[in-house]
A and B are shown apart, each in its own frame.
Chain A
Amino acid sequence: MPWNLNSDSPIFVQIIEHLQIDIVSGKYKPGDKLPSVRDLAGEAGVNPNTMQKALSELESTGLVHSERTSGRFITEDDNMIKNLRKSLVDVQIEKFFKSMEKLGFTGDEILELVKEYAQK
């Protein structure tokens, strides 16, 4: 099944986000070998050039590195992955707070509601 891509942002940006989530969630573990660009593109249902662009971006941040003849590998740097996880979570939390504020809740009310939900 092709990845779920929305129509808002550039495709290569969405590919990067998708891959980051895959890394953070453990689908790709540290040190794992990534499939080839062509296979990944086929899986995602996207243009191979766009996939290549996204992977190069990830390489420049260090999340992924390429060994000349063997392909691309996820970094073994656990700290980097932890930091990425934190920043992704921060984005989600910020989104959550923004939409709750739109509904008219204050910061304290939000914390209460979250506690209630977590205890269910």
Chain B
Amino acid sequence: MNNLLEIQGLSKTYGSVAALNDVSLSIEPGHIIGLLGPNGSGKTTLIKIICGLLQANSGTVLVDGNPAGTADSRAAISYLPDQTYLDGDMTIEAIVDMFKYFYEDFDENRAMEMISSLNLNPKAKLKTLSKGNQEKVQLMLVMSRRAKLYILDEPIAGVDPAARDYILRTIISNYEPTASMIIATHLISEVEPVLDEAIFLQNGSIKLFKPIDDIRAEEGMSVDELFREVYRC
């Protein structure tokens, strides 16, 4: 089976600082993977390069066989950035229509289902919603796409616990054996049960890439606890 994500020898430097250092990574379909690491470890840099929003200095990134930044690779990715990126003046309805227009794999029914289960008014303008609801809308859009690779950058940070449950349940119910998900987060203990594998990133290099239960069995502690130990200040 073709790997969904194939990264070889990826490096990115900002001046003299190496944000990513010869990173290599393969991800198959049907996995939910946590991208874990402290601030400045290179998580966001890696994600942006995969999405084609940043140019690497060297190395190759193939998304479903297509180089990062090309139309086909972007079509295969559903990306949730760490910040608001939608036009606040648009209504939820208008944004759903926009996604439907540009993305062939957008499932409008699923989107409307999620909107009604969140008790949101489709005719409401984004800027009139609370921050929590805005984030849920952005998540809803990303999850309504039948993409191959979902990349979520801090999907539950800054959100109340009830909303976190909802988001994690949505991630689980969205699981497809033909797709994979990368979740970058620092809230490891909440997300850990949902993950298949964890990637530890430190100073631009991958320190660890193992299944969650293997880590628990071998290290005798949860991934959250291992993380605290590895990255102890």
Q: Write the residues of chain A forming the contact surface with B, with a CB cutoff of 8 angstroms.
A: 1-2, 5, 7-13, 38, 41-42, 44-50
Could you tell me if B217 and A45 are in contact, using CB atoms closer than 8 angstroms? no
Could you tell me if A46 and B193 are in contact, using CB atoms closer than 8 angstroms? yes
Could you tell me if A45 and B173 are in contact, using CB atoms closer than 8 angstroms? no
Chain A positions within 8 Å of B225 at CB level: 7
- Asked if A7 meets B213 with Cβ closer than 8 Å, knowing A46-B193, A46-B194, the reply is no
Bound CA span A45–B193, Å: 7
Q: CB of B195 within 8 A of chain A?
A: yes
- Asked if A47 meets B224 with Cβ closer than 8 Å, knowing A7-B189, A38-B173, A42-B169, the reply is no
- Asked if A10 meets B169 with Cβ closer than 8 Å, knowing A46-B193, A47-B193, A49-B30, the reply is no
Could you tell me if B217 and A10 are in contact, using CB atoms closer than 8 angstroms? yes
Q: Which of B1-48 contact A (CB under 8 A)?
A: 30-32
* Inter-chain CB contacts under 8 Å: number: 63
Chain B interface category by residue count = 20 to 34
Could you tell me if A48 and B172 are in contact, using CB atoms closer than 8 angstroms? yes
Which secondary structure dominates chain B's binding surface? helix
Bound CA span A7–B227, Å: 13
**Chain A residue at minimum C-beta to C-beta distance from B195:** A47
Other-chain contact of A41, B172, B192, B221 (Cβ < 8 Å): B172
Could you tell me if B196 and A49 are in contact, using CB atoms closer than 8 angstroms? yes
Bound CA span A2–B194, Å: 11
- Asked if A2 meets B193 with Cβ closer than 8 Å, knowing A10-B216, A48-B172, A49-B30, the reply is yes
Chain B positions within 8 Å of A50 at CB level: 193, 196, 212-213
The 9 closest A-B pairs by CB, nearest first: A7-B222, A10-B213, A46-B193, A10-B216, A42-B172, A48-B175, A42-B169, A42-B173, A41-B172
